[in-house]
Amino acid sequence: MTRSLVLAAAQLGPIQKADGRDVAVGRIVRLMEKAHRMGAQVVVFPELALTTFFPRWYEEDIAVADHWYESALPSNETAPIFEAARKYGIAFHLGYAEKTPDGHRYNTAVFVSPNGEIMLKYRKVHLPGHKDYDPIRKVQHLEKRYFEVGNLGFPVMRAPVAGHDVNVGMMICNDRRWPESWRVMGLQQVELVMLGYNTPSLNMDNRGFEAHHLRVFHSHLTIQAGCYQNACFAVATAKAGTEDGHELFGHSIIVNPQGEIMAQATSWGDELIVADADLGMCELGRTTIFNFEKHRRPEAYGRITDQVGSEPPATWSPRRAAE
């Protein structure tokens, strides 16, 4: 039997600092209604989909930022999202800032069944940016201040989705740039990677030049390569547009296991894109060129897990070359 799913990326336009949760939740519910009209069975919303990308704002006292975090999901404010999912029979992925009952803060995403069960939770592992105010940067990127490194690894779950069992996994924004994130999920036979992102259109490090057009190129390059090398689909959903005066580039995409873009957003606003995914497509790569069991050589990959930073290589000398 063909296992096929209608996937959707629900890109969100900017959420301003002054916007309450009701604004974001109302827009998310409207995208859910649209997803229903377009026949989507899985809808992926962006990273930190309920608020502005608040790590661009420095707070000396992190407790002052507590209002950006969810301490429960669903809550009274977010319940309409869960109700819409139930009404339309849609499974959804949502990124948000999580504060646990014992006070830990994470950049988190959940995958929720249409009847409101959290089937999978992921906490962002690769936190970009810095912990303290950086006077050189044009805009702060304080994820290391506001979040702890995720403690759930990169889990993959075989979950019931629209009548099929599907191997689903998640990563968040910067994770997509790291081949390790993809491969750890590839090793669990992931078929569908869901990821949300908030990526500025310009490099705000102020430590060198990066051409503007390369920002989208690098995002797509890493997602397309991740899908191809791990024989999976991905739904990669952006928060887009000018948020609190700062541009996020959008360009949400849905990618197949050949690394091809099946659908792409064209606006900087709320926009839904859909694609039909035949999960059987994951078989070809998995059983041929990326048949891990046959072709991987972990004995040669020790540095990947033994080492964090890079080291200089050995220096060549005639004697060494002969060894």
User: Does residue 140 contact residue 134 with C-beta atoms inside 8 Å?
Assistant: yes
- Is 260 assigned a catalytic role? no
Q: What are phi and psi of 123, to 5 degrees?
A: -120, 125
Asked if 239 touches ligand CDT (CB under 6 A), the answer is no
Stretch 138-177: interaction string toward ligand CDT, x if CB under 6 A: ---x-------------------------------xx--x
Taking contact as CB under 6 A, which single stretch among the options 81-89, 178-186, 195-203, 293-301 is the one that binds ligand CDT?
A: 195-203
Token readout for 256 is: 């197949």
**How many amino acids of this chain bind ligand CDT (CB under 6 A)?**
10
Q: Is 168 helix (H, G, I), strand (E, B) or coil?
A: strand
Which has the closest alpha carbon to 137: 70, 200, 48? 200
Which one-letter DSSP state was computed for residue 307?
-
Does 129 help bind ligand CDT (rule: CB under 6 A)? yes
Query: Which member of 96, 146, 182, 197 binds ligand CDT (CB under 6 A)?
Result: 197
**Cα torsion angle, 274, 113, 250, 177, sign:** negative
Q: Between 36 and 239, name the residue whose CB sits nearer to ligand CDT.
A: 239
Taking CB under 6 A as the rule, does residue 35 contact ligand CDT? no
Residues composing the chain: 323
* 47: annotated active-site residue: yes
Is residue 222 part of the contact set for ligand CDT (CB under 6 A)?
A: no
Element (H or E) spanning 95, and its range?
strand 91-99
Q: How far apart are CA 73 and CA 81, in angstroms?
A: 10
Active site residue 283: no
Contact flag: residue 128 with ligand CDT (CB under 6 A): yes
Contact 198, 173 (CB under 8 A): yes
Q: Name which position in 11, 52, 78, 199 contacts ligand CDT (CB under 6 A).
A: 199
Show the site string, 60-99: x = touches ligand CDT by CB under 6 A, - = not: ----------------------------------------
How many Å apart are CA 175 and CA 149, to the nearest integer?
12
| DSSP assignment letter at 163 | T
Catalytic positions:
47, 124, 173
Q: Which residues bind ligand CDT (CB under 6 A)?
A: 47, 128-129, 141, 173-174, 177, 197-199
